[in-house]
Amino acid sequence: MFSQFFSYVLQGTLTTVEVTLVALPFGLVLGLLVALLQIYGGPILSRIAAIYSTGMRGVPPIVLLFILFFVISGSISLDAFWAGSLALGIVTSAYQAEILRGAILSVGAGQMVAARAIGMSRLKAVQHIILPQAVRLAIPPWSNEASIVLKDSSLVYALGVPEILSRAQQASAATQQPFLAYGTAALIYFVLVFTTNRLLDLLSHRMRIPSNP
């Protein structure tokens, strides 16, 4: 009985992972751009980036998802999967921007000064000195954001993408066993989130900069 549920709901897992694997990196690239503009962009660009970040974070993801979904799928012809994933990527970009901004600022202004003092351009300094350190600081909070995106990928269910939650909903409707259906979905989400966090913990540990106690 349970194994039937499991194999049915599990078929949505690949879609959930795919949505996450599109939204998360897309949001990372966009978020990095927003964070860099906010810090180094000069008065106008940094203001625009700040408004973007504040605005995006001030609206519930599901509302944004609907708005972005209709904007994206209205202007270019994309199927629900791509439109939903990109919309989710835009939602997470604002949160990732804040994570990266915090990490970059924690690196300290002195590192930039030291890099400029040996003749590096600002771009080179960001690339070789600031970001490698900021990335290390960003992994723990980013791990949290990754699990949020993984879980929020269930929102694209509302757009008709056949991921875990939509599969569970179908199973529940067909069998009148909501607890088993949604319980299975919960279990799969938990395993995905847990694995993601553990892998990123491992990465964080491996990238740690050696220092004496």
- Per-residue contact flags (x/-) with another protein for residues 72 to 111, judged by CB under 8 A: --------------------------------------xx
Report if residue 124 touches another protein, rule: CB under 8 A.
Answer: yes
CB of 25 to another protein, least distance (A): 23
208 DSSP assignment: P
Report if residue 210 touches another protein, rule: CB under 8 A.
Answer: yes
155 DSSP assignment: G
CB of 180 to another protein, least distance (A): 49
Q: Which of 153, 140, 147 is nearest to 200 (CA)?
A: 140
- Report whether 153 contacts 140 (CB < 8 A): no
Radius of gyration of the chain (CA): 20
Report if residue 198 touches another protein, rule: CB under 8 A.
Answer: no
| CB nearer to another protein: pick between 40 and 182 | 40
- Report whether 98 contacts 67 (CB < 8 A): no
Report if residue 129 touches another protein, rule: CB under 8 A.
Answer: yes
Report how far residue 178's alpha carbon sits from residue 90's, in angstroms, rounded to the nearest whole number: 32
Residues that bind another protein (CB under 8 A): 110-111, 113-121, 124, 128-129, 132-133, 136, 209-212
